[in-house]
Amino acid sequence: MAGYRGGFGGFGGGNQMQNLMKQAQKMQEDMQKAQAELEETEVIGSAGGGLVKVTMTAKKVVTGININPDAIDTEDLTMLEDLIIAALNDGYEKADKAYNEKMGAFGGLGL
């Protein structure tokens, strides 16, 4: 095999491989940091003009629900249930947006 030099062929040798490994490690560290930030990021979903509010993290962990007493009609609990669902869905949309803004830089890795 005339001209064979061994090594990693098209990778340009060990130095370039080390650089790739460092870049991958940095990307992993950045992704872990972004994931941790998402656990701390709070979003609020609301419905009924703010009659029902749901607080959650950007990772969709619900941390609180606030229901204005004006939203409670014992004759029509279905309306309150619908407001809670709408507030949750609004919160989920906001959490998705925050997640995509933070994690979009990683091209879908780690999802």
For the stretch 49-98, pLDDT in tens is 999 999 999 989 999 999 999 999 999 999 999 999 999 999 999 999 99
Give the per-residue pLDDT at 86.
97
Longest dimension (CA), the chain: 89
Q: How far is CA 92 from the centre of its chain?
A: 10
25 or 65: which carries more pLDDT confidence?
65
Q: What's the pTM? A: 0.69
Of the listed ranges 12-21, 23-32, 39-48, 74-83, the least confidently predicted one is 12-21
pLDDT exceeds 50 at position 111: no
3-state secondary structure of 72: coil
Where residue 13 falls among pLDDT bands split at 50, 70, 90? low
Q: What percentage of residues in the chain have a pLDDT greater than 90?
A: 48
The structure tokens listed for 12 are: 């340009």
